[in-house]
Structure formats: C-alpha cells, structure tokens
Amino acid sequence: MTSACVADFAFLIAESDVFDWSLPVALVVGGGIGFLVVWALTRHTRRAAHEQAAELVEVARREAAVAAEEVRQKAEADIQDRRAELNREFDRREIESDVRLREIRAHEESLALLDYQLEQRQERLNRENAAVKQARDAIRALSKSVRKRLEGVSQLDADEIKKQLREEVQLECQDEFRALRRATMEKSEQELQNEARRMLIAAMQRISSKPNNDLTATIIQLPSEEMKGRIIGREGRNIKSFESATGVTLLIDESPQMVLVSSFDPVRREIARVALEGLVKDGRIHPASIEEFVKRAQDEIELTSTQAGEDAVSKLNINGLHPEIIQLLGKLKYRFSYNQNVLDHSVETAFLASLIASEVGLDPNVAKRAGLLHDIGKGVPGELEGSHAVIGAEFIKRFGETPIVVNAVAAHHEEVKPETVYAGLVILADTISAARPGARAESMTGYIQRLGRLEKLALSLEGVQQAFAIQAGREIRVVVSPSEVTDDRAREIAKELRKRIESELQYPSTIKITVIRESRFTETAT
C-alpha cells in the first residue's frame, strides 16, 4: 500500500465514530494476495524471458558455426582451385621451357651447319686460288722454257730436233700414264665408297621405327594414403612377404599415393608391378593373397613374353626357332639399353642385316636370323658368367643353331674373331640401329648434364680459355690462349682431350674436337 492510501485510511478512522475493522483486514489480505500473484507472474515472466534468451543465443551460435563452416569450405575450395591453377601454370611454363630449349638446340645445330658450310666454302676458295696461282706460275715457266728452246732449236739440225722431240714425247706420255693410272685407282676407290654408302643409306631408309623412352624405375599409383599401411602390414609382414616372393625392393616414402618398385631384373620388376596392382585393386593384402597374386603375375608375364617372342619371329618371318629361344627372346621386351628397348633393337638389327645382305648378294634369311638373336644373351639369367654375346652364342648353340649364326652372335662385339661375312653384317647392323638419330633418346636433364661434363672436361686443361659443346654434343670447340699455348701444344691439347673423353665420358656416336688458337691485333686510325 502507498503512503497516500495510509493517510486516507487514518482520516476515515478519525471521522468515524464507530470503526469497522473487517474492511482493513480484507484490504490487507487482498493486497498481500495481489502482491504474491504479481510477484509470481513477474518471476514466471522473467524465467520465460531468460529461457527464450538462452534459446536465441544457442540458435545464433549454431547459425554462426554453420556460417563459419561454409566460409571455411569456401576458402578451402578457393585454395584448391588456386593450387590447381598454379599447377597448370607451372606445367605450361615447363612445357614452354622444353619447347624453347628444343628451338635453341635446333637453332644451334643450324648455326653450326652454316659455320661448317662457310668453312668448306673458304677451303674451296683457298684451293682454287692456289690452283690459279700455280697455273700462272706454270705458264710463266713454260713461256721461259719455250723461249729457251726456240733459242736452242735455231742452232740444231733436223736429226737432233727429232731426237729431242721423241725423248720429250716419251717422258710426257709416261707422266700421263702414271696420272691416268692414279686417277683410275682413286676413282675406283671412291666408287666403292659411294656404293657402300648407298647400300647403308638404302637399308636405313627402309627401316621405320620409333625410339622407346621407357624408364627403368617403376612407380605404382595408390588410391589413398591408407593403402600404404595395408601394404606394409602389421610389423611389416606384408611388405616382407611381397619382397621375398618377388625378389624386388618396395620403397615407400612420403610421396603422396605412390610406391616405387626397385630391382635390377626388369622381369622381376614387371611381375612385382602386376602383382601389386592386382593386390591394390582387390584390397585384400596378406601373405596368402600375396603369394596367389605373385603366382598369377608370373604366369601372366610368362605368357606375355612368349607372345612377344612369337610376334617378333612372325614379324620377321623366321622359321625353325626352338621354343626356348622364342621364350627368351620375349623376355627382352622388358629390358632396355640406354632407353632403347632390346627386343625392338633386335628386330631392327635383323631387318637391317637382311636388307644389307640383299644389297651385297648374300642370304638375307641367315643375316636376319643372326641379327634377331645377337642380343639374346641379355635375357639369360645372371647366374652365368661372361659377356652377353658369348653367353647368347652358347645358349643358341645348345638348341641347334648353325655355326654361322652362332659365330655372328658371339662376334658382334668383336670379342670373338668373325669367321664369316655374316658376322660383319651383324656388327654393322647393330651399330646402325644403336647409333642412328633417335634410337637411344636421352632425357633433357641427361642431355644438359652430358654437355656440361664435356665442356667442364675441356676447361680443366691448362691453357684453355673457353669451350663450347655444339651439334648436340657431337662436336666441341676449344679456344686456347695464344700467349700461353703454341701451335704444337694446341695439337697436343686436342689429342689429350680426345683420350680423356674416350676414357671418362659415355657418349653416343663420335665427338669431333676442334682446338682454336687465334691472335688478333687491332688499331684504329683517327
């Protein structure tokens, strides 16, 4: 109750003679009940407001979490897109760099060719000038001789003149006969060389094959990182079982979703690749399944290699080869020599030997057979000792090959003396197949490293100022200091560099060495 109500109530009591106490009591009780009702309603309203506020806060927090998750996902998507875009840009620039490097190398080769043509033209002009000078001197000498003869003839009689003319004619004829004989012999030798070149070029032009740039390392892609743990197994039992069954080494590192199969035996490496891909695809990796998939891969590779050998024999139309020889030939499909597939190289050598034999009038079938089998020793297991030429010859000899073919296989690296002309044909065809452009392609990194080693080797010699490897590494030009190096020393530098290149570097075909010693003196007139 307020103070005004209390004052009014007191006034009523004072004015009234007889005071009724029931009314105040009722008012007090009513006021208390009203106060309690109002207080209860207020408390309930406050509690409901607190609950509603808490619920609103919870809803706001959930909405904020959802919005934050959406922002995070959008940021991750943006990051992935940006990373993919950067990767594509990197790949594009890398491809552009490779293209530019190829263009530079082609331009370098064209410049070297122009340089060579200019040198040839200069040499030809020098020879022509020398010939003109010699002819001029000869004319002057002849004029003097004629003048002297005329002076002498005027003092001789007819018999003495005839005698001298007869002697001079005999001398001139003898010189002409000697010159004619020498020219005939030189012409015959030149014609033989031209005919040999024609045969080789005709044989090479009829070969159509492409280089094979396969690598010796085998990388297997995995569907997820979790698969690495399954391949390793508990305490490494799965990987140990796999390496024991296949004879290879599995390299598992931090590279994402890939493992590396390492082995010196390409057949084992191929078996391991097929088996591991089958295990990853199946998903069940344990010692029992590993043995099953390895056995299945061995059977598959055996069938594939046999089919490859039969395809090679069928392609060359060769008959009468023993099945063991055909099967061993097929295993060459998985071997490479300087990035050149050995089976493809053997087929190409067989074609070349057959074509050259046809050109020179020999039996092309014998040459073809020897060319196909010349590298078969590379497929024989490594337990046998000796070079692959000797091992291959012993292998085919056990299965009834003719002595001509056996000797051609054994002698194709000249470790054994060639006994027939077919051995020489195989040596020639093997060299052409290995040395022709593109046969043994190398990577861009290997190419740059080889040129760098060649230039560094030249620069290590005393007196060398600059060294330039040109013609794709088939020629090196060395500039020496004229004040430190004499002409004789420059010749010795060329020989010394040739010996060091032959002993320290591995290179295709040949390398031409040119040592340049030049002195220049320049003055300017003003």
Provide the Cα torsion 384, 272, 293, 295; round to 10°.
-10
Same-domain status, 371 and 302: no
The SS3 of residue 211 is coil
Which of these, 466, 444, 443, lies nearest to 455 by C-alpha position?
A: 466
Phi and psi angles of residue 400, each rounded to the nearest 5 degrees, phi first = 85, 20
**pLDDT for 21 beyond 60:** no
**From CA 525, how far away is CA 84, in angstroms rounded?**
64
Domain count, the chain: 5
Same-domain status, 429 and 448: no
Same-domain status, 293 and 201: no
Residue 404: CATH number of its domain: 1.10.3210.10
Q: Can you say whether residue 318 is alpha, beta or left, with left for phi > 0 and alpha for psi between -120 and 50 degrees?
A: beta
**pLDDT for 209 beyond 60:** no
Q: Is residue 51 part of a domain?
A: yes
450, 394 in Cβ contact below 8 A?
no
Confidence of residue 153 (pLDDT cuts 50, 70, 90): low
Q: For residue 480, give the H/E element and its range.
A: strand 475-480
Same-domain status, 507 and 467: yes
Strand pairing report for 512-516 and 475-480: parallel
Question: At which residue do the structure tokens 């230039």 appear?
Answer: 455
Could you tell me which residues come within 8 angstroms of residue 241 by beta carbon, excluding any fewer than 6 positions away?
Answer: 233, 287, 290, 291
- In the predicted model, what is the mean pLDDT of residues 138-153? 70
Same-domain status, 402 and 501: no
290, 279 in Cβ contact below 8 A?
yes
pLDDT value for 191 = 67
**pLDDT for 458 beyond 60:** yes
Same-domain status, 431 and 323: yes
356, 308 in Cβ contact below 8 A?
no
372, 349 in Cβ contact below 8 A?
yes
- For the record, the structure tokens of 71 come out as 């922002």
Confidence of residue 196 (pLDDT cuts 50, 70, 90): low
Q: Is residue 23 part of a domain?
A: yes
- Mean pLDDT lowest for which of 102-116, 192-206, 373-387, 473-487? 192-206
**pLDDT for 293 beyond 80:** yes
Q: Can you say whether residue 339 is alpha, beta or left, with left for phi > 0 and alpha for psi between -120 and 50 degrees?
A: left
- In the predicted model, what is the mean pLDDT of residues 182-196? 66
Same-domain status, 386 and 430: yes
Q: In this predicted model, what pLDDT tens digit does every residue of 308-318 receive, in sequence order?
A: 888 888 888 88
**pLDDT for 159 beyond 80:** no
Q: What is the mean pLDDT of the chain?
A: 79
Q: Is residue 340 part of a domain?
A: yes
Could you say which of 435, 458, 481 is where a domain stops? 435
Same-domain status, 13 and 93: yes
Q: Is residue 264 part of a domain?
A: yes
Phi and psi angles of residue 317, each rounded to the nearest 5 degrees, phi first = 60, 50
Q: Is residue 210 part of a domain?
A: no
The SS3 of residue 380 is coil
The SS3 of residue 221 is strand
- In the predicted model, what is the mean pLDDT of residues 198-223? 56
Strand pairing report for 464-470 and 340-341: unpaired
Same-domain status, 296 and 234: yes
Phi and psi angles of residue 386, each rounded to the nearest 5 degrees, phi first = 120, 170
- In the predicted model, what is the mean pLDDT of residues 417-421? 87
Query: What is the pTM (predicted TM-score) of this model?
Result: 0.46
Q: Is residue 211 part of a domain?
A: no
Could you say which of 91, 117, 143 is where a domain stops? 117
**pLDDT for 8 beyond 60:** no
pLDDT value for 212 = 42
Residue 245: CATH number of its domain: 3.30.1370.10
275, 256 in Cβ contact below 8 A?
no
Phi and psi angles of residue 336, each rounded to the nearest 5 degrees, phi first = -135, 145
Residue 500: CATH number of its domain: 3.30.300.30
Same-domain status, 342 and 413: yes
Same-domain status, 368 and 424: yes
Question: At which residue do the structure tokens 């032009």 appear?
Answer: 205
Q: Is residue 523 part of a domain?
A: no
Q: Is residue 160 part of a domain?
A: yes
Domain extent for 262: 218-306
Could you say which of 65, 82, 117 is where a domain stops? 117
